Amino acid sequence: MLLGASAAKPWKVLIVVAHPDDEYYFAATVYRIAQELGGTVDQVIITNGEAGYRYSTLAEKIYGVPLTDESTGRSRLPEIRKKETLSAGRILGIRNHYFLSERDHRFTLDAGETLDDVWNCGRVRETLRGLLERERYDFVFTILPRESTHGHHQAAALLALETIAKLEPAEHRPVVLGAEPAADESHAPGFGGLSRFELTRTARPEPEFAFNRRRTFGLNAALRYEIVVNWVIAEHKSQGMFQNDAGKHGLELFWRFESGPPDAAERTAALAHAL
């Protein structure tokens, strides 16, 4: 059953991202929902992440494979990165991971390149629709699709938004939230949507809410959610440059996309309050 604004838990969330390790964008929020609030979180990872071979130098000794060699990295990273994602998911409490194994061809800022020529978008949409209809999620988390972010991130968000916009009746649609990490709120420019893609329009330019990774909890307030985020980063050992994000971003900021159920604002406010 879908949860309305009057119910704070247990929330049901689907993450839709392009790459293994993209769960970093919402790691603390997901941990809070799945491990502390009794919610359910599943994750769809569209690509294998095989283009991440360039910064795998540190992992070559760990895995015993010359991962920075392009042909070796592209052949071996899909299996390695899947295992890293599953390990990170155990930390966060993610229930199911759906690996779609689409091609991670290269870094690009052009979402259209990915949507038109690289991924089997019909297959991705079909998978998402089946999950959404069967599981009836309350929320879908994507990476905020700024023009300056990876075109794969933009494409993943667009495919999720397109699929959700076709769900009927509208009351059965999940709320779609786009997230990005920031050092603090002053480092997060507004976002109203991509001019080329109407579905990416947000309810307002400012974030709907923020989750503070540096919030304390536990005995004598000695722990911070940032610890969990750093554990997640450490699981993705094949991605050496990613390790530089440890302790870098104190906030997870969330924008609400306009396309959603009639009670999207109330549902989002209820989640923010519960967190």
Q: What is the reported pLDDT for 9?
A: 63
Give the number of other CB atoms < 10 A from CB of residue 207.
23
CA proximity to 233, closest of 181, 172, 178: 181
Q: Provide the angle, in degrees to the nearest 10, between the axes of the packed helices 70-92 and 225-235.
A: 150
Q: What kind of architecture, by CATH, is found in domain 12-274? A: 3-Layer(aba) Sandwich (3.40)
pLDDT of residue 186: 73
Predicted local confidence at residue 63, as pLDDT: 98
**pLDDT score recorded for residue 244:** 96
Identify the H or E element spanning 160.
Answer: helix 151-165
Phi, psi of 185 (to 5 degrees): -65, -25
CB neighbours of residue 39 within 10 Å = 23
Residue 4's pLDDT is 40
Strand, coil or helix: 13: strand
Are the CB atoms for 251 and 73 separated by under 8 Å?
Answer: no
User: Structure pTM?
Assistant: 0.95
Would you state the pLDDT for residue 66? Answer: 98
266, two tokens: 């109330």
Amino acid 7: pLDDT:
47
Check residue 8 and give its pLDDT: 55
Q: What is the pLDDT along the chain (275 residues), one digit of tens a residue?
A: 344 433 456 999 999 999 999 999 999 999 999 999 999 999 999 999 999 999 999 999 999 999 999 999 999 999 999 999 999 999 999 999 999 999 999 999 999 999 999 999 999 999 999 999 999 999 999 999 999 999 999 999 999 999 999 999 999 999 999 999 999 877 778 999 999 999 999 999 999 999 999 999 999 999 999 999 999 999 999 999 999 999 999 999 999 999 899 999 999 999 999 99
